Structure 1
Amino acid sequence: MRAVLVVNPKATTTSERSRDVLVRALRSEVDLSVRYTRRRGHAMVLAREAAEEGVDLVVTLGGDGTVNEVVNGLMTAEPPVRPDAGTRADQLPALATVPGGSTNVFARALGLPREWPEGASMILEGLRLGRHRIIGLGRADDRYFTFCAGFGLDAAVIHRVEQARRRGRVSTPALYLRSTMKQYFLGSDRRHPAITLERPGEPAEGELATVIIQNTAPWTYLGDREINPNPAASFDLGLDVLALRQLRVASTTRTVTQFLTGSPDPRGRQVLRLHDTAEFTLLSNRPQAFQLDGDYLGEREKVRFTSVPAALRVIC
């Protein structure tokens, strides 16, 4: 089996020594080539090249941003035709994700351990046993995502966190909490909801303040605690949506508290939820912060979301 390991050398929870250990372990199972990312977007190029070379497996060592780029590289590749492959997912290389970031939502949603040594061991076992699953993805305009997207408040919070990290701050739950409070009270126009959600054949839902989209559950983690706005979201179904009509202090606090319970079921007059949705479009009368898989991608006034079922094979 031919494989490519795409390494983010800036991954927060790995070192050069640990990478060497992982490379030796993978080489005991596969014919491995190692390629390092050098800039934002480079993992997408490396993954696309690997797929078009006809490799059987792409392994990532990095965080959720590295995974997202690799997935987009795979999904936009034109791999050699495999005569025995019946679906697009079978034509593409399989994906294996060794957790190396600070949160690793995608890997943990697949059931992998949080720490990279245990995650790598589980992937090696999966390779030996031929264990894999087929997952669906989400797509926002022309970009794919694995676990979540955000339009509005949560994306603006991620932007604040990224700015803090560029100033040398460490990504921690406390940093996210502080950034959320600052954005909520100082950075949001909470009194004038600007977002509209449109679905084919359904009435439009207007005056929404912020929208969370999930392709699986959980949405993210606060340390070891799952945060679950849409607990029924699944890689095997369409997209789930939670939108808040207002960002009033009392109703928002109540909804966020519901996210954090052991059996989350957010509801209320200010909450809009959609389950297993194939397609919808978000529009806004002013630019909104936008994120995919925890990476801030700037501001948008319109984004079309679609579910892409049975898109990719993953080793887990």
Structure 2
Amino acid sequence: MLVRALRSEVDLTVEYTRKRGHAAALARSAAESGVDVVVTLGGDGTVNEAVNGLMTAEPGLAARGTAPAFRLPALAVVPGGSTNVFARALGLPRDWVEGTGVILDGLRSGRHRVIGLGRADDRYFTFTAGLGLDAAVVRRVEQARLRGRTSTPSLYFRSIFSQIVSGEDRKSPPLSIERPGEEPETGLGTVIIQNTAPWTYVGDRAINPNPDASFDRGLDLLAVRNLYIASTTRTVTQMVSRNADPHGKHVLRMHDQAEFTVIASRPQAFQLDGDYLGERQKVHFLSVPEALRVIC
């Protein structure tokens, strides 16, 4: 149905991803071949790969020197995953049929939005990144799914509290944040970075630790200074409340940041756009304005 609907409006070529990283290769090839729009059907992991493929494509000679958003194909996202944070943050319907209708209308009218992205070292992200507790929870959830568990809100909450009570990094928080021209922030147990709001969804509820984060500004972050059970549980409860406002002496928040580096004294779990990417000890974060055109 999706293919028929798009093919009725545009000259369409369909490709299927076959392994991890394939979506990035397909998007890069499409951009370098001169297509106008790349459409993805999948979850946030597929979108992240496609975005990285687009952002690493080599532009034609005529396009060099312009902002990425205006030298690259536009991106259209049809939601097809379990959470679809990026699509929902853009205001797209959760249902892929309704989402297809919005995209078709945007293609007909030429409607698009220019957004900024985040970059972590050499990899781009659309809505979130994290080191420490945040990413360790993503790792736990991925491991549970590999064992056959279904991704549900209760699975995420159990993973959060299991990680909190595990005691990892509680006595000696390993993370610090360095910014150009500023004193380092040290003694941090976890760092959450947002390129937009919300940070994620639990079912229908948006989780918004940094509600002022936006595709149109720099990066926002929230860090927790230690991982004591009582204080961390209180911060998590504040984050998931309907009027989220994480605060307290253990909470550090920064808004509209252009650039910073997170450094760990020992390897820490690392995630981008909800995908666990292993452990890191140093990650440089950069806000990339006017990075991408999206049909929405």
Instruction: State the TM-score, normalizing by the size of structure 1.
Output: 0.91
Count how many residue pairs are aligned between Structure 1 and Structure 2: 296
Q: Report how far residue 89 of structure 1 moved.
A: 1.2
Q: Which moved more, 1:263-272 or 1:60-69?
A: 263-272
Query: Do structure 1's residue 254 and structure 2's residue 234 form an aligned pair?
Result: yes
Q: 2:267: which partner in 1?
A: 287
Query: Do structure 1's residue 102 and structure 2's residue 82 form an aligned pair?
Result: yes
Q: 2:178: which partner in 1?
A: 198
**1:1-316, aligned counterparts within 5 Å?**
21-82=1-62, 87-186=67-166, 188-316=168-296
Q: Which moved more, 1:241-250 or 1:211-220?
A: 241-250
**Take 1:87 and 1:307, find their aligned partners in 2: how far apart are those partners?**
14
- Measured against aligned partners, the alpha-carbon deviations of 1:195-245 in whole angstroms (never above 9, x if no partner) come to 010000000000000000000000000000011111100000000010000
Relative to structure 1, is the Cα distance of residues 184 and 48 closer, same or farther in structure 2, using a 3 angstrom cutoff? same
- Measured against aligned partners, the alpha-carbon deviations of 1:139-161 in whole angstroms (never above 9, x if no partner) come to 00000000000100110111111
Determine if contact 1:81/1:91 at 8 Å carries over to the other structure.
no
Relative to structure 1, is the Cα distance of residues 48 and 252 closer, same or farther in structure 2, using a 3 angstrom cutoff? same
**Take 2:193 and 2:65, find their aligned partners in 1: how far apart are those partners?**
31
Relative to structure 1, is the Cα distance of residues 102 and 203 closer, same or farther in structure 2, using a 3 angstrom cutoff? same
- Measured against aligned partners, the alpha-carbon deviations of 1:63-98 in whole angstroms (never above 9, x if no partner) come to 000000000000000133456995331110000000
Relative to structure 1, is the Cα distance of residues 76 and 86 closer, same or farther in structure 2, using a 3 angstrom cutoff? closer
Determine if contact 2:164/2:229 at 8 Å carries over to the other structure.
no
Relative to structure 1, is the Cα distance of residues 285 and 86 closer, same or farther in structure 2, using a 3 angstrom cutoff? closer
**Take 1:163 and 1:253, find their aligned partners in 2: how far apart are those partners?**
23
Q: Report how far residue 36 of structure 1 moved.
A: 0.7
Relative to structure 1, is the Cα distance of residues 248 and 94 closer, same or farther in structure 2, using a 3 angstrom cutoff? same
Q: What letter corresponds to residue 297 of structure 1 in structure 2?
A: L
Q: Report how far residue 265 of structure 1 moved.
A: 2.0
**Take 1:249 and 1:87, find their aligned partners in 2: how far apart are those partners?**
45
Task: Give me the CA root mean square deviation.
Answer: 1.4
Q: Secondary structure at the match of 1:77?
A: coil
**Take 1:41 and 1:178, find their aligned partners in 2: how far apart are those partners?**
30
Q: Report how far residue 261 of structure 1 moved.
A: 2.9
**Take 1:194 and 1:167, find their aligned partners in 2: how far apart are those partners?**
30
Q: Secondary structure at the match of 1:190?
A: coil
Higher RCO by CA contacts (8 Å cutoff, separation 6 or greater)? 2
Determine if contact 2:55/2:68 at 8 Å carries over to the other structure.
no
Q: Which moved more, 1:166-175 or 1:66-75?
A: 166-175
**Take 1:277 and 1:166, find their aligned partners in 2: how far apart are those partners?**
36
**Take 1:144 and 1:40, find their aligned partners in 2: how far apart are those partners?**
16
The unaligned stretches of length 5 or more in structure 1 are 1-20
Relative to structure 1, is the Cα distance of residues 181 and 305 closer, same or farther in structure 2, using a 3 angstrom cutoff? same
Instruction: State the TM-score, normalizing by the size of structure 2.
Output: 0.97
Q: Secondary structure at the match of 2:35?
A: coil
The sequence identity of aligned pairs, in percent, is: 72
Q: Secondary structure at the match of 2:163?
A: helix
